[in-house]
Amino acid sequence: MLPERALRCLEPGLSVLIGTADACGTPLACRGIAISSPDDLQTITVYLPVATSHETIRNLATTRRLAVGVTHPRDNFSTQFKGTTLDARLAGDDEAAFVRDRLDAFADVLDCLGIPRRITRSLAHWPAFAVTMRVEQTFDQTPGPRAGHAVR
């Protein structure tokens, strides 16, 4: 993966969207709150609010397939990761500050774009599920001539 892309995919202030499908292939989207990676995006952990992600977790239990899209709202720099779920668990109390910090950073970015912080901060975010996936495909989703092309 390109170093710039890898770094930008883990920055604060990202919009995180999760895509799954059920056993029949019916798609489902869910907002994530935060993303982390201990190994240069070979695996990623995405945090999903418990309040809004029950169907997503059910789909992962059935298919294990997951797509994670991260976007910088200011310039629409976007990357999509596809892969297989390795683990889905309730996030620990030691992860709460990280999730809240990422929500606050997202609120700050959207505030600069005209959406008041209080609106974004009202998003469900805790408790959260922590879903770890093995990244198998990465795509550039930034609008432009490279959109949809594999990055690795």
- What architecture (CATH level 2) is domain 3-139? Roll (2.30)
**3-state SS track over the chain:** CCHHHHHHCCCCCCEEEEEEECCCCCEEEEEECEEECCCCCCEEEEEEEHHHCHHHHHHHHHHCEEEEEEECCCCCCEEEEEEEEEEEEECCHHHHHHHHHHHHHHHHHHHHCCCCHHHHHCCCCCCEEEEEEEEEEEEECCCCCCCCCECC
> What is the structure's pLDDT at 140?
76
Per run of 10 residues, the mean pLDDT along the chain (length 152 residues) is 72 94 94 92 95 94 95 90 96 96 94 90 91 92 80 77
pLDDT (0 to 100) of residue 3: 65
Q: What is the pLDDT of residue 128?
A: 96
What pTM did the predictor assign? 0.92
| For the chain, domain boundaries | 3-139
Q: What is the pLDDT of residue 149?
A: 82
